[in-house]
A and B are shown apart, each in its own frame.
Chain A
Amino acid sequence: SAVISQKPSRDICQRGTSLTIQCQVDSQVTMMFWYRQQPGQSLTLIATANQGSEATYESGFVIDKFPISRPNLTFSTLTVSNLSPEDSSIYLCSVGEVGTANTGELFFGEGSRLTVL
């Protein structure tokens, strides 16, 4: 298992500003993922954070809006830029090995609850 610390746990931001969320893992991991969970909805993968290279973004998510850093194997940040009320959501960092068949255990941070006014 992995212990994941995310911060901030919650924040309230003004529209047009940006928020950076940090994710720290207690061990070195290859794959780190950023998910979004909007109110009443399930988790949607934003991107896979790759160490030493650019993140891989899912359809509908772009680097300008969600820049990601992954400076080493234990740490990543997600920035949500130019905030609008539609960005109000829970953002979750997760780690796990999902590259092969029969793997699917992800460990999640406690999430960062963002409210945009």
Chain B
Amino acid sequence: RKEVEQDPGPFNVPEGATVAFNCTYSNSASQSFFWYRQDCRKEPKLLMSVYSSGNEDGRFTAQLNRASQYISLLIRDSKLSDSATYLCVVNTGFQKLVFGTGTRLLVSP
């Protein structure tokens, strides 16, 4: 089983739609969780951290369920510029980050 699993997509949505991505992780001792964004042929960049209480940053909401070892990212009012690959990332506590394979999002006009 992979340490971090994501649906690769692609998710094709129209502008203005709400879309949700899910991610599961296998190591119950994992300490912290993140969503990164990677544009085509570009390096990954941190989108947001994920806290147990859930956190929101504008149109983006991240949730963590430690009991189910599940992380989610919700994007509201999708923009064309949101088209990218979203990487679920887990800090396993061994001084390294483990990256999921990413979920590709395509927002169309």
Contact = CB atoms under 8 A, between A and B. Distances in A.
Given A98-B91, A101-B31, A101-B32, A43 B49 contact: no
Nearest to B88: A42
Nearest to B49: A104
Interface stretch (B13-21, B38-46, B54-62, B73-81): B38-46
A114 to B, nearest CB: 14
Contacts of B100: 42
Instruction: Bin chain B's interface residue count.
Output: 20 to 34
A106 B44 CA distance: 9
B97 A106 contact: yes
Contacts of B99: 42-44
Interface residues of A, number: 22
A98 B49 contact: no
A101 B44 contact: no
A65 B4 CA distance: 26
Given A42-B101, A104-B34, A104-B91, A98 B96 contact: yes
Interface of B: 31-34, 42-46, 49, 87, 89, 91, 93, 95-102
